[in-house]
């Protein structure tokens, strides 16, 4: 699409902005509730309910990643886990009629201030470079250099991403390290810049637990609970990720196992660094403009 054809005042961009404004408020209010002894489930449900109160919908379940965890961790329906003196990443998304915003912040209760600051500095370094014509590889180089300056490693197999309509991850990919070939950003692109820093090796792998799912394809199942779950998934969440605890059917976990066995939904295992390592994260959503970018998830205070 030629730059002259992009109307940044179009309704879809206003909805991206509305989602970002809601998200900035919810991120700040949610981070304030993270304290030693507080329940993960209480914090996740607070954020998700607050999003709805402010006129949006959760774009995905609130991710609460602890220490070596980097992504895809969300509490189960009866989860009684509480926060300790840990490194905690909150990753929160909002959509308004399917137009998205995505953000993350580290709340550090572990005493590793530099590691918590590294991805925030890297994020600002990348945002400073964004304009039409910049290559995503340049953003990755800035992120890697900034995290390296703090003495840590970027997580190289996690990336930022584009945000589409009802699509949480779409092109372009925004690397967290220097790459030789990237994508050129254009006016109107909506992207989430998402640096991760670690004192580990810089690669995450899949853990065993899985509480987040999304629709893979249309399908039919005979089991009543699975049919009920699928109806809610297709009508309410569409292709966006959802949590087991969001399903209104009884025996939701069993229903999801049936849907997964039939390749109708797929799961997102928790992604983790090596045990004993720590991962920090910071993320903003931006709209590429004619002369730079607009950060839709920036604090309004």
Determine whether 263 is an active site residue: no
CA distances from 119 to 11, 25, 194, 230, 275 (A): 32, 20, 8, 38, 20
What's the start-to-end Cα distance of the chain, in Å?
35
Where do we find the tokens 């945000």? 163
How many H helices and E strands in the chain?
Answer: 6, 17
Q: Which of 91, 108, 144, 199 is catalytic?
A: 91
Catalytic entry in 68, 194, 211, 273 = 194
Backbone angles phi, psi at 37, to 5 degrees: 95, -10
Which is catalytic among the residues 21, 67, 273, 283?
283
Whether 194 is catalytic: yes
102 is catalytic: yes
Judged on CB neighbours under 10 Å (0-12, 13-18, 19+), 271 is buried
Q: CA 159 to CA 17: how far, in whole Å?
A: 22
250 is catalytic: no
Pairwise CA distance, residues 211 & 203, whole Å: 21
278 and 86 Cβ atoms separated by less than 8 Å: no
Q: Which of 72, 95, 161, 284 is catalytic?
A: 161
Catalytic entry in 79, 169, 186, 210:
169
| Cβ–Cβ under 8 Å, residues 159 and 194 | yes
Distance CA 130, CA 185 (A): 8
Identify whether 40 is a catalytic site residue.
Answer: no
Residues with Cβ < 8 Å from 271, sequence gap 6 or more? 69, 70, 71, 72, 158, 204, 205, 206, 207
As a three-state string, the secondary structure of 178-239 is CCCCCCECCCCCEEEECCEEECCCCCCEECCCCCEEEECCCCCCCCHHHHHHHHHHHHHHCC
Active site residue 91: yes
Catalytic residue among 48, 67, 68, 102: 102
Give 5's Cβ-side CA count (13 Å radius).
4
What amino acid positions are annotated as catalytic residues?
91, 102, 161, 169, 194, 283
């Amino acid at each position: 699409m030629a730059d002259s054809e992009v109307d940044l005042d179009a309704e879809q961009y206003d909805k991206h902005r509305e989602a970002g404004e809601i998200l900035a408020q919810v991120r700040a209010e949610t981070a304030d509730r993270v304290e030693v002894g507080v329940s993960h489930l209480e914090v996740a449900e607070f954020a998700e309910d607050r999003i709805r109160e402010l006129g949006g919908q959760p774009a995905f379940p609130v991710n609460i990643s602890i220490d070596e965890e980097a992504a895809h961790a969300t509490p189960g329906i009866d989860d009684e886990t509480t926060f300790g003196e840990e490194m905690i990443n909150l990753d929160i998304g909002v959509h308004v009629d399917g137009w998205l915003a995505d953000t993350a912040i580290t709340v550090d209760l572990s005493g590793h201030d530099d590691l918590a600051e590294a991805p925030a500095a890297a994020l600002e370094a990348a945002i400073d470079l964004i304009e039409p014509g910049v290559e995503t590889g340049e953003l990755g180089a800035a992120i890697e250099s900034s995290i390296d300056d703090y003495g840590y490693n970027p997580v190289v197999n996690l990336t930022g991403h584009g945000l589409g309509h009802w699509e949480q991850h779409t092109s372009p990919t925004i690397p967290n390290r220097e790459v030789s070939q990237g994508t050129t950003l254009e006016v109107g692109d909506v992207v989430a810049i998402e640096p991760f820093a670690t004192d580990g090796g810089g690669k995450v792998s899949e853990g065993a637990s899985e509480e987040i799912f999304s629709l893979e394809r249309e399908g039919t199942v005979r089991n009543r609970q699975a049919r009920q779950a699928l109806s809610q998934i297709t009508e309410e969440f569409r292709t966006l990720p959802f949590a087991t605890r969001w399903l209104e059917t009884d025996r939701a976990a069993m229903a999801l196992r049936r849907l997964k066995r039939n390749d109708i939904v797929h799961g997102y295992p928790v992604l983790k660094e090596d045990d004993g390592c720590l991962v920090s994260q910071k993320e903003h959503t931006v709209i590429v403009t004619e002369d730079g970018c607009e950060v839709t998830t920036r604090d309004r205070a």
